Chain A
Amino acid sequence: MFDGRDPIYVQIADQIRQDVLRGDLQPEEQVMSTTQYATTFRINPATAAKAFAQLVDDGILYKRRGVGMFVAPGAPERLRAEGRESFFAESVDPVADQARALGIPVEDVVARLLARAAQAPGAAAGGAP
């Protein structure tokens, strides 16, 4: 865990964003404290605090004084909107490039995407409730 090219605090923030996107963390749900995060993952608490500060700045989390950090209402929608913008450049283009390199016809890729989408729970609604 946390071995990507980005600074650790960026990776922690990304991890929490993913949890919110997937619905593992719901709006108004309390997130782990900086202290819990630091001790659980053996990470410097200043590094963990930096990640949480970034998420507060981005409107993903908010602070309740003396209580802790919570997922902001509207955070999943905000993350989804941001994710859509980068999805094609960051996720689809590399798949297309790799498929070409491997000699996989684009029709096969599309067929796979359609099959996969049909299997997903709540497929027609487009994601978790």
Chain B
Amino acid sequence: MTAALPAPGTPLGVEVRDLTVRYGRKTALDAVSLSIPAGSITGLLGRNGSGKTTLASVVAAYRRSTSGSVLVGGQQPWENAELLSRVALVRESGDVVDTDTLRTNLRFTEQSRPQFSREVAERLMDVFDLDPSMKPPKLSRGQKSAFGIVLGLASRAELTILDEVHLGLDAPSRYAFYDALLEDYIAHPRTIVLSSHLIGEVERLLEHVVVLDRSRVLLAQDADALRTRGVAVTGPVREVDRFVVGRTVLGRQQLGGTAQATVLATLDDGEAAGARAAGLELGPVPLQDLFVHLTADGATEAAAEMGRVR
């Protein structure tokens, strides 16, 4: 029926097939299929209400699916205690015991997480300037997030899902988080799913990207490949208009005689040289902008061209 779990410490991948989750009449996930490669840092991106948190909750067995299948390391997560000791979901809500100190909360996590590193926990408590004798209700929004990050990274779970853990963190703390994440991920490879609205900040950390939009998978692909899908073309209005004929235009701006169009296209060297010869400048489209264009209302056609997951 299900495969045996790999050895402890082996990164766990995720396979989701035709997953549907309904809350009463509302469909949170609609026949979603995607893969999260084992050992990757995968970005889970989407607008509010796109289904990210629902997906994370089903994968980590906080919630049941309505139909379809989810496999983590080849096994179903629901009521699978052995598997779930290797799956950590850090949610915005924190999931900590409010009546106990941070120190005690850390000990609870240590007891349930076979790969837990006390050394990482202590170091990160210092980095984020958290006092172990405090209780969760006394923490600020940023401190709550920071403590979630401490639990999530120190657990070293073979599948670690960090859902919007940056909320309330100032920029230096967020960069301390990115540094700690990369460092510990390199030393102890695992699968990390990072859900964030700060795409510009996290995009270079990502190897793989899944974008959800309105309860469906908009795209799931290699982050580097995704970055080359868009191109910003700037130049004389006439030349820009000529260039975009037959291409999918995500956005267009005009200032006097100069226009800029954001186009869905991967140009080969010949096309790029031709465009430059026509007086056009070619620039990158940051992942953040591509995301905004693709998930904007009425962008469904462009999204269809990007191609749904395999």
Contact = CB atoms under 8 A, between A and B. Distances in A.
B169 interface: no
B6 interface: no
Interface string B274-309: 001100001110100000000000000000000000
B186 A35 contact: yes
A50 to B, nearest CB: 8
Interface stretch (A16-24, A40-48, A59-67, A111-119): A40-48
Majority secondary structure of chain A interface residues (helix, strand, loop or mixed):
helix
A44 B283 contact: no
Contacts of B276: 94
A44 B186 CA distance: 9
Contacts of B282: 5
B224 A7 contact: yes
Interface stretch (B81-89, B121-129, B176-184, B213-221): B176-184
A45 B283 contact: no
A121 B224 CA distance: 39
The size class of the interface chain B forms with chain A is 20 to 34
In this complex, the interface size class of chain A, counting residues with CB under 8 Å from chain B, is 20 to 34
Nearest to A45: B186
11 contacts: A6-B228, A39-B183, A41-B204, A43-B204, A44-B204, A44-B206, A44-B223, A45-B186, A46-B207, A47-B207, A47-B224
A3 to B, nearest CB: 6
Contacts, number: 54
A8 interface: yes
Contacts of A8: 204, 224, 227
Contacts of B41: 44
B282 to A, nearest CB: 6
Interface of B: 40-41, 175, 178-179, 182-183, 185-186, 204-207, 223-225, 227-228, 231, 273, 276-277, 282-284, 286
Determine the main DSSP class of B at the interface with A: helix
B183 A5 contact: no
A4 B282 CA distance: 10
B235 to A, nearest CB: 12
A8 B183 CA distance: 19
A52 interface: no
Nearest to B204: A43
Interface in A21-79: 35, 38-39, 41-47, 50
A4 B281 CA distance: 12
Given A3-B284, A6-B228, A7-B227, A45 B204 contact: no
A44 B228 CA distance: 17
Interface in A69-100: 89, 94, 97
A47 B204 contact: yes
Given A39-B182, A47-B223, 20 more contacts: A2-B204, A5-B283, A5-B284, A7-B224, A7-B225, A7-B227, A7-B228, A8-B204, A8-B227, A38-B182, A39-B179, A42-B179, A42-B204, A42-B205, A43-B204, A44-B205, A44-B223, A47-B207, A47-B224, A97-B277
Contacts of B286: 3
Contacts of A9: 224
A78 to B, nearest CB: 20
A4 B228 CA distance: 10
